Structure 1
Amino acid sequence: MAAKLADVAARAGVSPATVSRVLNGNYPVAHATAEKVHRAVAELHYVVNGNARALVSARSDLVGVLVHDIADPFFGVIASGIQDSVAEADVLAVVCNTGSSAARELSYLKLLRKQRARAVVLTGGSVDDPDLHGAFVEQLTELTASGAHVVLCGRPPVTDAEGRDVPGLVTVDFDNRDGARRLTAHLTSLGHREIGYVTGPEGRTTSQLRLEGHLMAIRDAGLDEARCPVVSGRFDRASGSTGATELLRRNPDLTAVVAGNDMAGVGVLTELRSRGIEVPRDISVAGFDDLPFSSDTVPALTTVRIPLTEAGRTSGRLALGNESPPPGGLLPVRTELLVRDSTAPPSRGRNSTSGERAPSAKAAE
């Protein structure tokens, strides 16, 4: 029976993707690894099937766009930007909703590879699942080795178990950490000393990076972290509301609340309003992303702007090969602090030691 590619991989002790890279010569492989593959090929008398190779290398007109939650405007805006770029390229862009599940994301990658997708764009932060990371890296490697363009939009570069970048990927990376740092630094510069934070889902890189930036600003200002509580959320309105409740329970003297994104920020505003707490007179509130509704809230939400539409368009052009990859495969996207009406200096006479809040108009009634 003729040897198969999997047989060569097993004999050489490497993955099928590595065998493909060695035989195709389209990606650099360590000399010792290449020697093992060539030795296995000779020992098994493996012959490349030219027809199969031609079939595998053929690309479809399918572009896969993976999002965590299509109902979240963050992903809708990015996906719309991607479709703007591919609309005139005679390709079909298919949006795949992963529900923030690493397993579902992996399943979609496998299906897209089977369909010989021309390109794949993965949006939003990656989900930390060590049990699936190896399989995730393997699927990305298989996709790029087959000729598909893979773009990561809004997530850090992917590395293998040894910390090496996966070859062939292009990363459009949002500066979440520095944007969050500048946002909280804006509040500390106004005089806020007791600032609560509602973070996003645990295990997602976007949540981690924004929290890191927030804590950097808290420490830079020399604030007492015990007086600046952090609660977990889900990047939605409900977690913003419950998060505000829990933050005030932990520290009733808060003068500001930062939400991990604008959706949660709206939940914070709603909860504070229901309690008769005026924003920003009693408590300042800030979000992140600058989603389309952020300037229309009452008061207008101070936030950090990510150029989501343009990031999506750029990702689409990169996915189709209509734009040259950036040096090193990494394109950083700068964020912008937008100061609006929801943040102001703490109320006069109210500080981290007073423990008093000026009554709101509603409370006074």
Structure 2
Amino acid sequence: MTATLADVAARARVSPATVSRVLNGNYPVAASTRDRVLRAVDELDYVLNGQASSLAAATSDLVGILVNDIADPFFGIMASAAQSEIGGQEGTGRGGGEKLAVVCNTGGSPERELTYLTLLQRQRAAAVVLTGGALEDPGHSAAVSAKLARLADAGTRVVLCGRPPLPGVESVATTLTFDNRGGGQRLTEHLLSLGHRRIGYVAGPVERTTTRHRLEGHRAALAAVGLAEKGLAGGGPDVTQDQLTVHGGYDRGSGYRATLELLHREPSLTAVVAANDTVALGACAALRERGLRIPEDVSVAGFDDLPFSVDVVPALTTVRLPLYEAGARAGRLAMGREAPPEGGVAMVRAELTARASTAAPRQ
């Protein structure tokens, strides 16, 4: 049975007028009330009646680009590239106009991600681009899959950029996935080839796929030289790989704090691998505060090859992800101006970029 506006109001414990205000966005509503209404809309799969209902399978000129943090260059670069492809093409919109690309900043909140997908579904978005790693939570993954399937059924193109393939939507979504495992492995192999064996790892949030995949690559490189589980050569006998890994956010402050913790656990570290380039900046600050030189005393490596990486002193060894190119490709796929890859999934290669922040350890 099709849900009605009254059903939504009853589920959200508000008046039908409040539901209408939330959906039309024409009157201020408390954030908690708005979230409750949108959650009820989602749970009941409510579709607007009348003219909007008759157009439920049509699409508008709106394209949504979902990011975790628009202030993070990792997401900003991809969003900018995608937006250029989406909004900068003459005559691609209905009636010959351009598409309107809207960047939706989730702040890393899984609830906010679902809310934006609900709103984009309600606006009959022409396309949706989801960027960055996914949350490692089966319930959330199932909810996102269901949302994307509904969007696709209504004619919305779905593109994942920088995410692993999402189970359940392989047939309706095009995926550009980053080779985070391979990049992490090549980065640690580089340090091992220089002679490092006492390597600390500053990881990202434990619940993110990007974190797990990059750490898996790091551990695979260590396993290849017999350092997967045991304490590191020359280090304390009880120091394990888990103790040489500290998780935190993808920000400078987390890199700073985690590196101080690593130095406390293993003062004889000769290298630190950071979850990304911003985290690596924090690691460098912590090392300098302790009077350690980079790379003479401790080598530092990052991930992503953000624009500032080549300009810091010393220039940062990192793994380059072609973020702008991937974002632009996602934009073209969202507009249907590029054919999807075979099987709907393409791996974006991560390339080692060795610079001055890494060197052989002191003997």
TM-score calculated relative to the size of structure 2: 0.80
Q: Out of 142, 151, 154, which is 2:162 matched to?
A: 154
Q: Out of 170, 181, 184, which is 2:174 matched to?
A: 170
Residue identity matched to 1:142: R
Q: CA-to-partner distance for each residue in 1:283-339, whole Å, 9 max, x for gaps?
A: 000000000000011110000000000000000000010101110100111111000
Relative to structure 1, the CA distance from residue 110 to residue 140 in structure 2 (aligned partners, 3 Å threshold; closer, same or farther) is: same
Is 1:108 the equivalent of 2:116?
yes
The answer to whether the Cα contact below 8 Å between 2:320 and 2:350 also exists between their aligned partners in 1 is yes
Q: Out of 355, 358, 362, which is 1:340 matched to?
A: 355
Relative to structure 1, the CA distance from residue 225 to residue 103 in structure 2 (aligned partners, 3 Å threshold; closer, same or farther) is: farther
The answer to whether the Cα contact below 8 Å between 1:137 and 1:166 also exists between their aligned partners in 2 is no
1:119 aligns to what?
127
1:137 aligns to what?
145
Give the ranges of 4+ consecutive aligned residues of structure 1 lying more than 3 Å apart after TM superposition: 3-6, 49-54, 224-228
State the alpha-carbon separation in 1 of the partners of residues 192 and 2 from structure 2. 63
Q: CA-to-partner distance for each residue in 1:237-282, whole Å, 9 max, x for gaps?
A: 0011001101111111110000010000010011111111000000
* 1:226 Cα offset (Å): 3.2
Residue identity matched to 1:69: D
State the alpha-carbon separation in 1 of the partners of residues 53 and 346 from structure 2. 32
Structure 2: 5+ residue stretches without partners = 5-48, 90-97, 233-240
State the alpha-carbon separation in 2 of the partners of residues 238 and 293 from structure 1. 17
State the alpha-carbon separation in 2 of the partners of residues 101 and 81 from structure 1. 23
3-state DSSP of counterpart to 2:177? strand
Q: CA-to-partner distance for each residue in 1:80-119, whole Å, 9 max, x for gaps?
A: 1101211323011111111111111011101100000000
1:70 aligns to what?
70
3-state DSSP of counterpart to 2:84? helix
Task: Please report the RMSD computed on the Cα atoms of aligned residues, expressed in angstroms.
Answer: 1.8
Relative to structure 1, the CA distance from residue 51 to residue 87 in structure 2 (aligned partners, 3 Å threshold; closer, same or farther) is: closer
The answer to whether the Cα contact below 8 Å between 1:172 and 1:331 also exists between their aligned partners in 2 is yes
The answer to whether the Cα contact below 8 Å between 1:218 and 1:225 also exists between their aligned partners in 2 is no
The answer to whether the Cα contact below 8 Å between 2:110 and 2:135 also exists between their aligned partners in 1 is yes
Query: After superposition, where does 1:1-365 map in structure 2 within 5 Å?
Result: 4=2, 55-89=55-89, 90-160=98-168, 165-223=169-227, 225-227=230-232, 228=241, 229-347=244-362, 349=363
Larger radius of gyration: 1
Structure 1: 5+ residue stretches without partners = 7-48, 350-365
The answer to whether the Cα contact below 8 Å between 1:171 and 1:329 also exists between their aligned partners in 2 is yes
* 1:144 Cα offset (Å): 0.6
Identity of aligned residues (%): 55
Number of residue equivalences: 300
State the alpha-carbon separation in 1 of the partners of residues 230 and 203 from structure 2. 15
